[in-house]
Amino acid sequence: MRLFVLFFAVVILYTTASAKDIKIFESDYYNRLKVKYAKDRYMAVMIDDGIPAVSIQKSVVDFAIGLLGIRYRFGGETIWGMDCSAFVQKVYSMAGIYLPRTARYQAKYGMYVSREDLQPGDLLFFRTYARFPSHVGIYIGEGKMIHASSAGKRIMISNIDKDFYLRNFLFAKRLFLYDPEEITDEK
């Protein structure tokens, strides 16, 4: 077990260090904006140029698969146990994209995507214990998502067409990278 943990820690350190550092939500530029409208616009407007690139999407899925089997723990944020939103936050941060901690706030970012247009790396939001998004998973293709499941007690892959997920599905979002120079006039 110790060997596995050591190997896992080395993999996370290597992948985190080698990922491009793309701060889209808490950048110095964003923090310099004074007007709430400019901040909201910075977070909401996407550049329609094919971003996220296939490499970012592939990285997100690869990082997510690397965390398979970690125990589910509500409120957990470590390799000893994590919940769904901590899992998503960790995976995206490994790819260099920084998201808020909870599913409810993660759901505020990105562009809505229909179920028919899902691509690997898209976020899937569900209602479980509340009306607002309270569960999140990462779409990996072929009708499957990877998520930290409280029912399965671990990070696992599930079919999104299962009755539970169909009944509780709220929406899907695709994260884009932002170019602050093109989406705000504030200097």
Which of 147, 148, 155, 174 is labelled catalytic?
Answer: 147
Identify whether 135 is a catalytic site residue: yes
Identify whether 147 is a catalytic site residue: yes
Sign of CA dihedral 28, 31, 35, 39: positive
- 58 phi and psi, to 5 degrees? -65, -40
Q: Say how far apart CA 12 and CA 16 lie, in whole Å.
A: 6
Which amino acid is it at 59? Answer: S
Report which secondary-structure segment, H or E, holds 3.
helix 2-18
Which of 82, 84, 136, 140 is labelled catalytic?
Answer: 84
Which of 61, 91, 135, 176 is labelled catalytic?
Answer: 135
Identify whether 23 is a catalytic site residue: no
Tell me if 158 sits within 8 A of 149, measured CB to CB: yes
Residues labelled as active-site residues = 84, 135, 147
